[in-house]
Copies of this chain bind each other. A is one copy, B any other.
Amino acid sequence: MARVWVNSASLAFVYNNFLRNSAKNHPYLKNGVRLMSTQATFKASDVEIEFCRTDQLKPKPAVKDLVFGVTFTDHMLEVEWTEADGWGKPKISPFHYFSIHPGAKVLHYATELFEGMKAYRTCNGQICMFRPDMNMKRMIRTAKRASLPTFDQDELIVLMKKLISIDQEWVPHAESSSLYIRPAIIAHEEVLKVEQPRKALLFVILSPTGPYFTSGYNPVSLLADPKYVRAWPGGCGDAKMGSNYAPTLAVQKEAMKLGHAQVLWLYGPDHRITEVGAMNIMILLDKGNGERELVTPPLDGLILPGVTRASLLELARSWREFEVNERDITMAELLEHSRNNRILEMFGCGTAAVVCPVGSISYNGQTIRIPTMEHKQPLTTRFYDAITDIQYGRTPHPWSVPIE
């Protein structure tokens, strides 16, 4: 929606409507007249660009030294939002620190959301994003749940492409590496009352990245402790809000103290499996009749609707080689399958790691061994190859979206 300067003909209607709908001294009102409507979205075509001077450009680390989320590129995108005026003009400028008031809501009440996506340098020399529409759809859904402002997702995709294009030399010239894209919205109004945000900032930063897990592609061990719960019905487990992550850190610390790499999150009295670390979880079962079943928990409100999760499900269904089910799976069922040697593979999946094979689970004092990578051609590896073939352009696919 473009910024509309209300002419006198439509003013009466707008003003009466305003009187019905809004409180006294509402910021839309200046001297008793509603001056402008709010910007429901920003527009990519309005972008203002301030390039780094060449002496401001940062050195690029060697691909082998890339660690997830540590190095950032030369530019960033920002768009300011206020309740009164809606979205301002997008701005791409040299990467810089924010100046944030100590009373800003984001520092006290976690008024924040984010997304995680990647751009890849494909084998034919293009730079492509992976299914950006999926992340944007989720970002809009999260914004609604977080009471943060929404926008036209296509406009942000165009802006991200522009930003990546400006910083394209930061997209690593190597496979297994990529450019991690981090869009986020923070509400940074300097008022301590717990209430709806009236000011927010959408920003996008870019980080060239190697593999997420520095330990490499080795099966990890998980701690499954029913005493900690990641998400619950009526909460926000299916939205990508910062508030889902802070509570996991102490649990992750405990898992690591006990020698485990990640937490397997359980829910409910029957210890349903929900997620692993900050990833979705998938399990490949031997059905005993020569058939196999791929299981992942359903999107019942507790589960983040992962883009990698959705992509693996679509791929697996298109192969028609085994059953693919989004269904509940409990620890009791998993233990039963383990006793019968019917767990073939288990792995986390997400944007950062693509897939993360699981080797064992510690649960109620027992260890469940899982032979994920011990088969001749693990599904885990096949999924990894299929997704990365698309991401790096070896398999042409509509999921891979060129930035220009």
Contact = CB atoms under 8 A, between A and B. Distances in A.
A70 B112 CA distance: 20
A376 interface: no
A146 B249 contact: yes
Interface in A265-301: 277-278
B98 A102 contact: yes
Contact of A112 (B96, B107, B212, B278): B107
A110 B229 contact: no
B108 A182 contact: yes
A186 interface: yes
B246 A111 contact: yes
B102 A249 contact: no
Given A102-B205, A108-B112, A114-B108, A242 B245 contact: no
Interface of A: 68-70, 72, 76, 95-103, 106-112, 114, 144-147, 180, 182, 184, 186, 190-197, 203, 205, 207, 212, 226-229, 232-236, 241-250, 252-253, 277-278
A249 B203 CA distance: 21
A398 to B, nearest CB: 28
A246 B110 contact: yes
A97 to B, nearest CB: 5
A247 B109 CA distance: 9
Nearest first, the 10 A-B pairs at minimum CB distance are A69-B192, A229-B234, A243-B243, A110-B110, A110-B242, A147-B249, A109-B245, A232-B232, A110-B246, A147-B250
